[in-house]
Structure 1
Amino acid sequence: MRFTGKVWRYGDNVDTDVIIPARYLNTANMKELAAHAMEDIDPTFAGRVEAGDIIVAGKNFGCGSSREHAPGALKAAGVACVVAESFARIFYRNAINIGLPLIELGEGDNNIKAGDTLAVDLAAGEAENLATGEKFAIPALPGFIQDIAQAGGLVPYTQQLLAKKKA
């Protein structure tokens, strides 16, 4: 999988209440939630994010409650992947389950700025900041996680596996 998108840059400890504020959790409709994604930290995000854009953040992205709405709202908003220094583990797992790729870079993302264009190749384990020309290695996601993301999440992936077994 390969993505190229504009960078939205955030800091450390972006929690699930910031990603999708609890006051909007009276619906499970991800498109409705996407309209409010990140609004408490960046009121312009939902109105300006475009399909294929990439969030780059600091440490502990997705901390807080275990709500699966957070990665779902980002994905529904058009976010192709999230690159961060580190992720809260429950957010990481929820993102895999819904097919939102996450890339944990450690401290390797310091030169990526808001508005830069980032090209990410998950299979090759490579990324390039097209604004600066800087290329860097990223941890290649295991093949089965790439397959889950390609399928659109764990449920569609499992449905595909079951359909292949029946054939």
Structure 2
Amino acid sequence: MGAQASAPAAPVPSIRCSSQRFHCPTRTRTHFLHFASNLSDFTRFTKTSLFVNQSGTKYFIIPHATPSSSPSPPTTFHGQCYVLGDNIDTDQIIPAEHLTLVPSKPDEYKKLGSFAFSGLPSSVYSIPFIEPGTDSTQYPIIIAGANFGCGSSREHAPVALGAAGVKAVAAVSYARIFFRNSVATGEVYPLELEQEGVNKQCTTGDIVTIDLERNVLINHTKGKEFVLKPIGDAGPVIDAGGIFAYARKTGMISSVV
């Protein structure tokens, strides 16, 4: 009886994104361990190494990139919204008597936040932005009408909002100086709505999400979605923490104090 032909060896399965990790004792970095039938499966990876053990199994060692130490900028904001009308001026955002507080001092920065929107008329806005006895808000997102931040050019206005816990403002339009100060301080994202009247379709306390990648404001409570204008080149400046932080990050000015 003739010898039977041996069955062909089963191909080694190709797994491009194995979550298994392998630590090479002769190296200081942790690597991903992948299995594949040939090296061409890994042409998109750099510095791929091929090892073959005694049984003929092929191991492809692919360096695992070390995560950046810098936190990724936010892409979404979520929480309750506080709804305002048109022409909210900086004196309503932070009354002049509180401008003696110095934001660079942590305790005074925190106190500044406790006075955010303390200039709003209670006859119009019966729900307090800052609950009595607290120094921060439960409303991280502001929805407003036109000409938000008009009035004096006080830099304390966006700083007070940021200190209170506001992450973003979505308004129909802004006073130029408030928009500039928001970007320069990196305290809040001043986002523009594509359409008017969004503040009339939302209610204080509604649960909303701002998605910066899709440029939308989603009101989950009302089941509505509104388009935002892209923030453009101002985004990276705010992400960095303001104009000075951005200048240091990009090498425009020395990072040495």
TM-score, normalisation: structure 2: 0.59
Is this contact kept in 2: 1:61–1:84, CA < 8 A? yes
Query: Residue in 1 aligned with 2:189?
Result: 101
| Deviation (angstroms), 1:114 | 0.9
Q: Structure 2 matches for 1:1-167, cutoff 5 A? A: 1-29=75-103, 30-41=109-120, 44-47=128-131, 49-50=137-138, 53-99=140-186, 100-105=188-193, 106-109=195-198, 110-142=200-232, 144-162=233-251
Name which of structure 1's ranges 150-159 and 105-114 shifts more when overlaid on structure 2.
105-114
Q: Does the residue aligned with 2:250 lie in a helix, a strand or coil?
A: helix
Q: Is the 8 A contact 2:216 2:226 kept in 1?
A: yes
Inter-partner Cα distance in structure 2 for 1:160 and 1:71: 22
Preserved CA contact (<8 Å) 2:140 2:167: yes
Q: Secondary structure at the match of 1:162?
A: coil
Q: Distance in 2 between matches of 1:127 and 1:85?
A: 13
Partner SS for 1:27: coil
Partner SS, residue 45 of structure 1: coil
> CA offset at residue 46 of structure 1?
2.4
Which deviates the most, 69-78 or 31-40? 31-40
Cα displacement (A) at 1:108: 4.8
Contact 1:121 1:127 in 2 (8 A): yes
Could you say which structure has the greater relative contact order, defined with CA pairs below 8 angstroms and 6 or more residues apart?
1
**Do 2:142 and 2:166's aligned partners in 1 also have CA atoms closer than 8 Å?**
yes
Using the alignment, how far apart are the partners of 1:107 and 1:22 within structure 2?
30
> Which one has a larger percent helix, Structure 1 or Structure 2?
1
1:134 Cα deviation after fit: 1.1
Letter in structure 1 aligned against 2:239: Q
Residues 145 and 197, structure 2, Cα contact 8 Å, conserved in 1: no
Measured after TM superposition, the shift of residue 39 of structure 1 is 1.0
Deviation at 1:86, TM superposition (A): 1.3
Answer yes or no: is the 8 Å Cα contact 1:123–1:141 preserved in 2: no
Secondary structure of the residue that 2:77 maps to in structure 1? Answer: strand
Unmatched 5+ stretches in structure 1: none
- How far did residue 71 of structure 1 move? 0.5
Q: What amino acid is aligned across from residue 33 of structure 1 in structure 2?
A: L
Amino acid at match of 1:73: A
Percent identity, aligned pairs only, is: 39
Who is 2:34 aligned against?
A: none
Superposition misfits of 4+ residues, deviation over 4 angstroms: none
**1:32-73: CA deviation from partner (whole Å, max 9, x where unpaired):** 2111110121582123613x7101111111000001100010
Cα distance in 2 for partners of 1:160, 1:38 equals 32
The count of corresponding residues between Structure 1 and Structure 2 is 163
Bigger Rg over Cα: 2
CA drift at 1:116: 0.6
